[in-house]
Structure 1
Amino acid sequence: MRRNWAARLRRGTIGGIDAVTLENERLRVTVLPGKGGDVVEFLHKPTDTDFVWLSPQGLRDPRDHLQGAPDDVAPFVDHYAGGWQEVFPNGGAPSEYRGARLAQHGEVSGLPWECEVVADSPEEVAVRLSVRTRRLPYRMEKVVRVRSGTAALEVEGRATNESGLPLHAMWGQHIVYGRPFLRPGARIRLPEGVTVIPHETAIDPPERRVAAGGTWPEVPAHGGGLTDLSVVPDPGSPSDIVYLTGFPDGWYEIAGHIGIRVEWDATVLPYLWMWQELGASTGYPWWGRAYTIGLEPFSSMPTDGLAAAVANGTALALGPYETKVMRMRAEVLA
């Protein structure tokens, strides 16, 4: 029976792409099984605030540009609609691993996922999404859940090596924020003692600077980039990326007129990629139109692809037939 109250879900399509919406009295979350399991809506209903940044290029169906095409950047970038992507088994730039050429942020973000309803009651709704990679022998699953009375999304992800060989991977949550939620001057909070690693020194040797109790150090970055990482910069500030690690517990908060708290299993994803594109890039693919910050829990670093993560010892290792489990929770602070 369809419900218009308490926890409920709807299945349908958006722009011809399979979609499912989970919602309750306070929150509406839309996920695209037909496009990598992307989260393209995270709407706090009482304040009409969507925490998802939507790219100016809009939603594009990835089926018109298959993963693994000769251009290893286009499958992700040309179909990047913003939101929240699952990244596996390659993070960042195209890379080659044991003879498999992996596209940028490939493979699962560009594949259609199977979708199965696993809970549908006034108390909670949940769906299980699943997919197998094509270049490497992995199976990915995630259950996304919304419970009545909360403004929170719960996620349990599983990555399984379906071969009898030990393998590596990069696993990340490509979460970005933008307007109307993201505003200059909003504060970013982290646990005490987190380490900041500038991009230039992320491979070897790592230059580490400690952020204690929310007081962030100044971090020199290429192009005169990020300095005070605790404050969301003004439009036009330089583009940049740094990596954070040393989380005793995986969490961060962004607080302004309204806030969000993201918690995750830092034993599986020990790094947080902090990426900003605030309008300074006037060429492909941004054309000066983006105002967004990514705070992305990841298994590995840097954003140079799986081969670089294997070389620096940060790649996720999965033994024969091993499954890694990762839990996350994103909750609105109002």
Structure 2
Amino acid sequence: MRRNWAARLRQGTIEGLAAVTLENERLRVTVLPGKGGDVVEFLHKPTDTDLVWLTPRGLRDPREHLQGAPDDVAPFIDHYEGGWQDVFPNGGAPSEYRGARLAQHGEVAGLPWECAVVADSPEEVAVRLSVRTRRLPYRMEKVVRLRSGTAALEIEARATNESGLPLHAMWGQHIVYGLPFLRPGGRIRLPDGVTVIPHETPIAPGGRRVKAGGPWRWPVVPADGGGEVDLSVVPERGQPSDIVYLTGFDEGWYEITGAVGFRVEWDATLLPYLWMWQELGATTGYPWWGQAYTVGLEPFAGMPTDGLAAAVDNGTAMELGPYETKVLKMRAEVVA
């Protein structure tokens, strides 16, 4: 018998894609096993605030690109609905690793994941999602859990090298925020001692160029042309696109305030970088067309956004030995 109280779980489809919703008295979280295990809803029920950003284009089935000529360049962005994705084993731009061509943010975000219910009681609900990559010999698995009475989603994820060879990967949590949660003037808090590594080039033509050569202490970064940019304040709409990388975390956590407060915790020994990306409406060409107002705060293993091969070259890529499994624990909580 289905429950409509305490912790509960529903399975169904959204736009033809397998979906599962975990809900309790305070949260409703919807995950898409049919598309990368994406989190497409993180609704704080007392304030009716959804924390994840959804693109104006909405949800599209990533399998549709297989009906024509396969696109190895941009399947992620062409089918990007916003929300929260696992990025693995390539982060950022298309890249080639040991003969395997990897698309932008490929591979797992575009694949269907298997889903199994592992807990379904009034006290807690949880599902296990799993997938194997197609071009590299990896298996990924994550258990997503919601306990009664809490406003926190708990995740335990595993990445396993199923080969007898040592391999590299970039593993990231592509978490982005937007309306109705994200608001100009909101604040971003990080642990003391975190430093900022600027990206060498702007994200889009005409974007603000952050001076290379850091790191600088959080939260202020010198910018070309003088003056300072305070990265701890959510910018106004219309500011240029940008990305920086934050590192030096003794503890992996950040808090961002908007309509409510939100805290994300993760294992910074495994994901030592936090990519901070903003697209605030200044990009008037592909893919945003001036429609986006979003900030991403994305824990990552490896940098920059130039792809896996670049992270291997600069020594920031994750290394997995033969048959090794890496385990990542995360917690995402509304702190209103």
TM over 0.5: yes
Offset, 1:257: 3.4
Offset, 1:207: 2.0
Unaligned runs of 5+ in 2: 202-211
Superposed, 1:61-210 pairs within 5 Å as 61-66=61-66, 71-200=71-200, 207-210=214-217
Offset, 1:217: 1.6
Q: Contact 2:196 / 2:221 at 8 angstroms: preserved in 1?
A: no
Offset, 1:65: 1.3
Which residue of 247, 250, 256 maps to 1:248? 250
Which residue of 215, 220, 224 maps to 2:223? 220
Taking the aligned partners of 1:69 and 1:146, their CA distance within structure 2 comes to 40
Which residue of 264, 267, 272 maps to 1:265? 267
Note the aligned Cα RMSD (angstroms): 1.8
- State the SS of the aligned residue for 1:308: helix
- State the SS of the aligned residue for 2:200: helix
Cα 1:69–1:260 shift into 2, 3 Å: farther
- State the SS of the aligned residue for 2:270: coil
TM-score with structure 1 length normalisation?
0.95
Offset, 1:248: 0.6
Match for residue 207 of structure 2? none
State the AA in 1 paired with 2:125.
Answer: V
- State the SS of the aligned residue for 1:179: coil
State the AA in 2 paired with 1:243.
Answer: Y
Match for residue 309 of structure 1? 311
Offset, 1:218: 2.3
Offset, 1:299: 0.5
Taking the aligned partners of 1:70 and 1:225, their CA distance within structure 2 comes to 46
Taking the aligned partners of 2:266 and 2:46, their CA distance within structure 1 comes to 25
State the AA in 2 paired with 1:239.
Answer: S
- State the SS of the aligned residue for 1:104: coil
Match for residue 204 of structure 2? none
- State the SS of the aligned residue for 1:218: strand
Offset, 1:227: 1.8
Offset, 1:333: 1.2
Q: Contact 2:52 / 2:178 at 8 angstroms: preserved in 1?
A: yes
Q: Does 1:283 align with 2:290?
A: no
State the AA in 1 paired with 2:200.
Answer: E
Unaligned runs of 5+ in 1: none
Q: Does 1:32 align with 2:32?
A: yes
Match for residue 206 of structure 2? none
State the AA in 2 paired with 1:233.
Answer: P
Taking the aligned partners of 1:69 and 1:207, their CA distance within structure 2 comes to 42
Q: Does 1:48 align with 2:55?
A: no
- State the SS of the aligned residue for 2:220: coil
Q: Contact 1:226 / 1:240 at 8 angstroms: preserved in 2?
A: no
Cα 1:225–1:67 shift into 2, 3 Å: farther
Offset, 1:323: 0.1
Offset, 1:316: 0.2
Taking the aligned partners of 2:133 and 2:68, their CA distance within structure 1 comes to 12
Q: Contact 1:90 / 1:171 at 8 angstroms: preserved in 2?
A: yes
Q: Contact 1:239 / 1:277 at 8 angstroms: preserved in 2?
A: yes
Taking the aligned partners of 2:147 and 2:227, their CA distance within structure 1 comes to 40
- State the SS of the aligned residue for 2:105: coil
Offset, 1:262: 0.3
TM-score with structure 2 length normalisation?
0.94
Cα 1:67–1:281 shift into 2, 3 Å: farther
Q: Contact 1:225 / 1:238 at 8 angstroms: preserved in 2?
A: no
Cα 1:112–1:77 shift into 2, 3 Å: same
Match for residue 205 of structure 2? none
- State the SS of the aligned residue for 2:316: coil
Q: In the comparison of the two structures, how many residue pairs are matched?
A: 326
Offset, 1:226: 8.7
Taking the aligned partners of 1:67 and 1:27, their CA distance within structure 2 comes to 37
Q: Contact 1:226 / 1:238 at 8 angstroms: preserved in 2?
A: no
1:280-325 Cα deviation digits (max 9, x unpaired)? 0000000000000000000110000000000000000000000000
- State the SS of the aligned residue for 1:13: strand
Taking the aligned partners of 1:322 and 1:67, their CA distance within structure 2 comes to 35
Identical pairs, percent: 83
Q: Contact 1:176 / 1:293 at 8 angstroms: preserved in 2?
A: yes
Cα 1:68–1:274 shift into 2, 3 Å: farther
Taking the aligned partners of 1:68 and 1:210, their CA distance within structure 2 comes to 48
- State the SS of the aligned residue for 1:227: strand
